[in-house]
Amino acid sequence: MERVEGPTMLDDLGSHPWRVDRHARTLARLHRELHAIAAPEGLAAHPWPGDVVLHLDLHPANVILAPAGPVVIDWTNARRGGAGADLAEVWMIVAALGRDADPSGLADRLREAVVGRVEGRIRARLLAGFLDGDARDQAREALPTSAEVRLRDPHVSPAEAEAIRALVRQETGERLSPVGEVSGRRASSSGPGRRDGRPGRRSRCPCRRR
């Protein structure tokens, strides 16, 4: 396995917060390029239907800024599905920054370099640049289904779960119950073509192996 050298996008954002717009555009481009790839046979399906490759954890801590260009790491949760699910996943992760017991460690690492009101502005700018064009509409459409999957993750803290429910309520008008039901319907544990019937397991922190 080739070793990739360089800081993560998150590390660079912490050291150079004024680069947030550039990094947001890069993150959006990486998602577009990924979603242009047809999912291979045998890749387990996400409940949000589609036929492209999903990373489902493609946030700034999982992008290495290598000399030859950005490299995406930590493919543990890769699935087949619709692009909106990937976009919604990053939206939920960033929206929940600053909540206690953040499982990705993203908030703590960002806060080390960018604090207080500046942190909130950076978060807002990152999302604004990432969810550009029709990406926001795609993410909003997939948001309730993606939230159901994320809320079944035992590593999601109560505060993060509440932030996710608030985001879904604000963006879609739907209400998620504490057990992951949307508007009175029970969240399905499997989607079209799902092979194992279970959402991908998340690690407590992004993979740092390069």
- Residue 46 CA to residue 31 CA, distance in Å, equals 16
- Closest among 106, 102, 196, 109 to 149, alpha carbons compared: 196
Q: What is the pLDDT of residues 56-109, one digit of tens each?
A: 999 999 999 999 999 999 999 999 999 999 999 999 988 887 555 455 566 666
Q: Is 78:56 a contact under the CB 8 Å cutoff?
A: yes
Around Cβ 20, how many Cβ atoms within 10 Å?
A: 20
Buried/exposed 98-124: b ≥16 CB within 10 Å, e otherwise: bbeebbbebbebbeebbeeeebeebbe
Q: Which pTM does this prediction carry?
A: 0.75
Residue 176 has what pLDDT? Answer: 83
Q: Point out the residues of the chain with pLDDT beneath 70.
A: 1, 98-118, 178-210
- Residue 96 CA to residue 28 CA, distance in Å, equals 19
- Residue-averaged pLDDT of the chain: 81
Q: Is 96:105 a contact under the CB 8 Å cutoff?
A: no
Helix intervals (H) in the chain: 9-15, 20-34, 83-95, 106-113, 116-130, 135-151, 158-172
Residue 205 has what pLDDT? Answer: 35
- Closest among 125, 142, 156, 129 to 86, alpha carbons compared: 142
- Residue 45 CA to residue 191 CA, distance in Å, equals 7
- Residue 39 CA to residue 36 CA, distance in Å, equals 9
